[in-house]
Amino acid sequence: MCIERVSTEWQFCKPLYERRRQAYRRYVDRRWEADSAGLEISEGRFWVGSISETTPRRPEGALYRIDHDGHCMRMLDGLFTSNGLAWSADGRRMFHSDSRGQIIRVFDYDPETGEISSGRVLARPSETEGRPDGGTVDSEGSYWTAGAWAGCLNRFSPEGQLLERQILPVAAPSMLCFGGPFLDQVFVTSLSRDTAKGSETGQLLSFSSKVVGLPGHRFRPLVQTGLEPLGGTTSELR
């Protein structure tokens, strides 16, 4: 498999990231400390998680849902690092990971109400498989997760079986998505880190996949929330 380095410089992302971060921070409660993964879904809601930055670490992170009218509701709490949001093709299963909690869970999801239920453990990745960071779902219903600090991607079946493990030329992959005209290209970002061999900058990698991904979506507010859709099409990236 040929893995291509698309970019080794992430400074261009910072202004965009900060603009979105300041917008949705207004809609969550005071326990918010730092944001983690955010995702728009098919019916146009926006979901975003938070990270506990206490010392020592305590499970004070949470997962929030922002509706079309700007109303925000806390959907999960007791998390260390909310991460890995993804939905099945039919929109009725929601995947979520707690990176520092080293757990991936799946929930039943109601697209009409935005409610989640029947949470159960999908997987508890080992240190070899890495901390479950960002995630996505492919067209076969399998869940992909970035194995942070293990330098790999893990693909789990809908039942939680580890189907494959893709080794990457970076130590800390952080997020992945499908892109390209046919959604058969995988794009992976990584974190910057210092190692015994020196500093490793954050990178953007890509490689071809035999299985294709699912198209992305946009947040569709009914009122001005400050979370306006960004330019470009998400289908180009996911």
Token pair in block for residue 42: 């098919």
What is the Cα–Cα distance from 10 to 207, expressed in whole angstroms? Answer: 19
CB 83 within 8 A of CB 62: no
pLDDT of residue 90: 93
Catalytic residue, candidates 29, 133, 138, 194: 133
DSSP 3-state of 36:
strand
Please tell me the number of Cα atoms within 13 Å of 238 on its side-chain side.
Answer: 24
Give tens-digit pLDDT for 143-162.
Answer: 999 999 999 999 999 999 99
Give percent above pLDDT 90 in the chain.
58
CB 97 within 8 A of CB 89: no
- Report CA-CA distances (Å) from 156 to 77, 119, 175: 24, 17, 16
Q: Among this protein's residues, is 110 annotated catalytic?
A: no
Residue 138, beta-bridge partner list: 213
Query: What's the pTM value of the predicted model, to 2 decimals?
Result: 0.82
CB 123 within 8 A of CB 139: no
Token pair in block for residue 71: 């109303």
Name the architecture of domain 4-33+86-224. 6 Propeller (2.120)
List per-residue pLDDT tens for the chain, 238 residues long.
677 777 655 444 444 445 555 555 555 543 444 455 566 566 778 898 998 888 888 999 999 998 888 888 999 999 999 999 999 999 999 999 999 999 999 999 999 999 999 999 999 999 999 999 999 999 999 999 999 999 999 999 999 999 999 999 999 999 999 999 999 999 999 998 776 667 788 999 999 999 999 998 776 666 554 544 433 333 332 3
Extended beta strands in 61-137, E state: 61-66, 72-79, 82-87, 93-98, 103-109, 116-123, 131-137
97: left (phi over 0), alpha (psi -120 to 50) or beta: beta
- Angle at the Cα of 73 from the Cα atoms of 174 and 237, rounded to 5 degrees: 35
pLDDT of residue 67: 87
